[in-house]
A and B are shown apart, each in its own frame.
Chain A
């Protein structure tokens, strides 16, 4: 009996030992995740390898992340007011948000794209579209500030935008919703045949990046969803996916999903450019705002434009063709060689790839299957390069690694699928958490992608992060694609809805990033370039305060003679000329945001004092050891008082 007990204990001990062995080997699988951690770990003080510009979706902004760390560096205000940076609040940037509908403080930011030279990302500007009140913005990547916004007339739901041609000749903006062009009062049910869709080609000044609408192609009333430029051999063409070729105007989810095939519109923009340069096209009355920020005056101006050049595609034979593409295609992606055009038919089980060479051949052989409103439709079989069979459900967007592979997101099956260009075989798939929309490989929209990472942008996160009430964060996921198999490395939260992204190597941008604005270049009309230039000037009920900041005081910091009912403009110049020394300023009761003024910059806020008293203002950015002392007072007297206008620094007001 004793022996039996001993035996039992021995057996149990051995079992326990084995079990714990098993446990040990299980915890060894942690080695895999630690290698993922190493791949995304950027040591303190080290820099990321890539910049990622991720759209902020309905936040209206553009976020700047580092890859592979997934660290957020900056949110660049683009289409929405940003109280933190005074964008759209200060007098200098209010004109940036002006439109033909007046001041619009918000938009839905969608598809960032980086400028290119010779088919390669050049890191000078990033363009992004506002979807709701159609606009294209240009962000200067030396300052990471929005420096230009142009409104797009004859457009609604500016979605197949803002993609750049391979020498940054044009940034293109296509309408998602067709509308009456010109707008008029008419029954909605008369949509079919009467509504039109515009595709706008906006020229980019090669030196300053200034945008100007060169021409608008007035197309049939479909929905133009996404687009991409041709490159290499197909440079000179632009491709747009369409849906709602049914031209329905109600219960679109059903009525716009009836046709077996919609189209990819292939537009020979070089041909139309030539036509327009030779005097072609019709100038049409239009009203749209063009807002330009000037770095020298630190101020934006808004100009209302009066007309736009339109082109009827039927007037330029051979300029536009329709390529039949199954089931409401979303992404319209061109591979790095320019040969393959991928139509991501979002309601199709297959992925359709067209061949540019075959398209040219079909055009040459005049193999036309039919026409839509006079625009020739090519035969599906004549232009088809291949089909990726049953890769997943709900293909949305394809990017390329430059090594012969393509990566497509599938919204419904929530995954990224890797497949081979040419053989059309699926080689790998990785799940996304959850419901992935678009994806990004740095340099993806160019001849030279940097195929090391892919970022997937998800629409839903549910349980992936600590819960924050009903509204939870949106997120992106980083995959290593340098090997045969994709490896999920990192989840990271994003702002707004991350619709789309563009990325590039940090070395393209980092050396050009500005550290400060030179004071001697400051041409702001209300700048005070030294403390000797500070003053307070009354003009009727308007008062201009020419103020300066430097560690750690305002000049002047005592002001008297302001009256209730005045309009007081604080024009504040930051006299600092050192990297990363901004000053802020805010006034009690001002019906606006603070200012955050970079070294050498001048910004202005308006204060309309409503109450008699002595009211303080202070620096809002922790600028120095004496930041807490950086404050001042304004004496506000009754409207009918005779308090003389006086200002001072460092002495009592006499």
Chain B
């Protein structure tokens, strides 16, 4: 097996770590929560950072009319299927394909990941803005519009008494490494090709 194909094999396998490690994490800090509330987002599940965190996030958020974080969302079926399909595709390419296919897989993964992030943003936006009209507490922005409570897509943000942090986790790192590895596989393959 060529070196570039070995790299491509690694690239195809790395995203499988998403089945073990969380993709993303949202953490909420407040003075009353010396241990912050946190939610891990996996490709097939939401999980508590500490026991009962999601329940307690829901309890907090209901005061401003936010919906409960659902037990399951359609993405939990689509994302794992996507990862499995792209992995199989990657494996086939690693064994049968040449460097041009590596580039194809790289672009495919960039497109799929961007679509995933955009989907995540849409969900966050809806979660932060689609508020119960009978909310216990209603807040407005200085310009008079209804205040939203959307957590940041990436980074940290103050939301009322909470400081919200939203950052990728180990699963996302493995996915990123896989994507990067496919690009390197492409570059290495291309270089070797030129040399011949």
A577 touches B51 (CB 8 A): yes
Closest to B136 in A: A626
Mark B residues whose CB is within 8 Å of A: 35, 51-52, 55-56, 59, 63, 136-137
Is the C-beta of A625 less than 8 angstroms from some C-beta in chain B? yes
B56 touches A578 (CB 8 A): yes
Tell me the smallest distance from the CB of A583 to a CB of chain B, in Å. 13
Interface centre among A551, A576, A577, A578 (most CB of B within 10 A): A578
Which residues of chain B are within 8 angstroms of A550 by Cβ–Cβ distance? 59
Task: Report the bound CA distance from A551 to B58 in whole Å.
Answer: 11
A625 touches B63 (CB 8 A): yes
Task: Report the bound CA distance from A550 to B59 in whole Å.
Answer: 9
**Candidates A551, A578, A625, A626; contact of B52 at CB < 8 Å:** A578
A577 touches B63 (CB 8 A): no
Which residues of chain B are within 8 angstroms of A576 by Cβ–Cβ distance? 59
B63 touches A578 (CB 8 A): no
Complex interface residues of chain A between 616 and 644 (CB less than 8 A to chain B): 625-626
Complex interface residues of chain A between 550 and 570 (CB less than 8 A to chain B): 550-551
Task: Name the prevailing secondary structure of the A interface residues.
Answer: loop
A577 touches B136 (CB 8 A): no
Task: Report the bound CA distance from A576 to B59 in whole Å.
Answer: 9
Tell me the smallest distance from the CB of A375 to a CB of chain B, in Å. 58
- Count of chain A residues with Cβ under 8 Å from any Cβ of B? 8
A551 touches B136 (CB 8 A): no
Show 16 residue pairs from A and B whose CB-CB distance is below 8 angstroms, ordered by the A residue: A550-B59, A551-B59, A576-B59, A577-B51, A577-B52, A577-B55, A577-B56, A578-B52, A578-B55, A578-B56, A578-B59, A579-B35, A625-B63, A625-B137, A626-B63, A626-B136
Which residues of chain B are within 8 angstroms of A577 by Cβ–Cβ distance? 51-52, 55-56
Closest to B62 in A: A551
Which residues of chain B are within 8 angstroms of A626 by Cβ–Cβ distance? 63, 136
Task: Report the bound CA distance from A578 to B50 in whole Å.
Answer: 10
Tell me the smallest distance from the CB of A492 to a CB of chain B, in Å. 26
Interface centre among B51, B52, B55 (most CB of A within 10 A): B52
Extra contacts besides A577-B51, A578-B55, A625-B63 (6): CB < 8 Å: A576-B59, A577-B52, A577-B56, A578-B52, A579-B35, A625-B137
Tell me the smallest distance from the CB of A627 to a CB of chain B, in Å. 12
Which residues of chain B are within 8 angstroms of A551 by Cβ–Cβ distance? 59
Closest to B32 in A: A580
Complex interface residues of chain A between 447 and 505 (CB less than 8 A to chain B): none
Which residues of chain B are within 8 angstroms of A579 by Cβ–Cβ distance? 35
Closest to B55 in A: A577
Task: Report the bound CA distance from A337 to B180 in whole Å.
Answer: 67
Task: Report the bound CA distance from A551 to B136 in whole Å.
Answer: 12
Tell me the smallest distance from the CB of B85 to a CB of chain A, in Å. 37
In the complex, the 5 A-B pairs of residues with the closest C-beta atoms, listed nearest first:
A577-B52, A578-B56, A551-B59, A577-B55, A626-B136
